[in-house]
């Protein structure tokens, strides 16, 4: 039996077990997927334990996305540029392969909305924390022009240099109203919603406002965006699409059903609300 898990702290509200078990059950696979709390600072010791316990794949969430790299014996180019991994796979030589499926997860979630042709498109991204990094890498690779705005401008300049191969623009979040007119799409990666606040937006005129968060923390921002005339989308499909990429790595390229897992997640979030 294939033993899989998601590790993080906190981990209690993770939807990953629900997503992966839905696919494992639907496809009748001989595998298990659990959630395991691993406190900060215990990443490397925990990975040694998981090796001995026979785990073959792990999803990695906060606060371990960078710390797991110390134990990775093989890392994808995406992981190197993003500086973080969310998927580990046991190799036959006993090492761990590190991948970042948040990047293809974002482009797959946007493709689901019909957004696939990025050349000549301008994306306004808000926030320059951990959540922004995979998005920047993915959209830079896809050929989009990016304007990255952040409360702390230096952080925006810094991560553009780390995660992107091409040149893009950056600036303070206060420039939002001024540059918004140039954007085909806005992607919010800030954690403002987790602190109960939201970023004030100018009129959207029917353009897409995509928030990487979902559930209760996303609600005030998406309500505000909707009231300002933006078409809105939360990050739940990105979560499911990144899970699908991990699943595919672990199960020899199998592509699981996105819509089944998304429906199950929406139902679970509604029950929590």
Q: What are the catalytic residues?
A: 65
CA gap 209, 126 in Å, rounded: 11
What is the smallest separation between the CB atom of 105 and ligand ATR, expressed in angstroms? 15
By CB under 6 A, residue 143 contacts ligand ATR: no
By CB under 6 A, residue 150 contacts ligand ATR: yes
Among 197, 203, 254, 255, binds ligand ATR (CB under 6 A): 197
Q: Which is nearer to ligand ATR, 31 or 109 (CB)?
A: 109
By CB under 6 A, residue 127 contacts ligand ATR: yes
Say which residues have a Cβ less than 8 Å from residue 96's Cβ, sequence separation at least 6: 47, 51, 68, 71, 72, 73, 74, 88, 89, 90
Site stretch for ligand ATR (CB under 6 A), options 125-133, 178-186, 247-255, 265-273: 125-133
Among 173, 183, 187, 261, binds ligand ATR (CB under 6 A): 173
What is the smallest separation between the CB atom of 223 and ligand ATR, expressed in angstroms? 16
What is the smallest separation between the CB atom of 217 and ligand ATR, expressed in angstroms? 10
Which residues of the chain form contacts with ligand ATR (CB under 6 A)? Answer: 127-131, 150-152, 155, 173, 189-192, 195, 197, 199
């Amino acid at each position: 039996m294939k033993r899989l898990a998601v590790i993080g702290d906190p981990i209690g509200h993770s939807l990953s077990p629900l997503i992966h078990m839905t696919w494992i059950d639907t496809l009748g696979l001989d595998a298990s997927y659990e959630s395991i709390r691993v406190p900060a600072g215990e990443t490397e010791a925990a990975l040694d334990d998981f090796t001995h316990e026979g785990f073959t794949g792990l999803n990695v969430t906060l606060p371990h996305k960078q710390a797991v790299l110390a134990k990775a014996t093989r890392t994808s180019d995406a992981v190197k540029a993003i500086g973080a991994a969310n998927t580990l796979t046991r190799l036959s030589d006993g090492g761990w392969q590190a991948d970042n499926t948040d990047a293809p997860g974002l482009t797959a979630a946007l493709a689901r909305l019909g957004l696939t042709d990025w050349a000549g498109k301008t994306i306004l991204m808000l926030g320059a924390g951990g959540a922004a990094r995979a998005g920047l890498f993915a959209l830079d690779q896809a050929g989009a022009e990016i304007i990255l705005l952040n409360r702390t401008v230096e952080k925006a300049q810094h991560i553009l240099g780390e995660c992107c191969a091409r040149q893009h623009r950056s600036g303070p979040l206060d420039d939002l109203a001024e540059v918004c007119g140039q954007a085909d799409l806005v992607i919010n990666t800030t954690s403002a919603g987790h602190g109960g606040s939201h970023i004030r937006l100018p009129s959207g005129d029917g353009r897409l406002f995509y928030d990487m968060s979902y559930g209760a923390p996303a609600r005030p921002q998406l309500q505000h965006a909707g009231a300002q005339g933006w078409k809105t989308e939360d990050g739940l499909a990105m979560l499911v699409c990144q899970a699908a990429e991990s699943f595919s790595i672990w199960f020899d390229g199998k592509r699981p059903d996105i819509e089944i897992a998304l429906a199950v997640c929406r139902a679970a979030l509604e029950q929590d609300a």
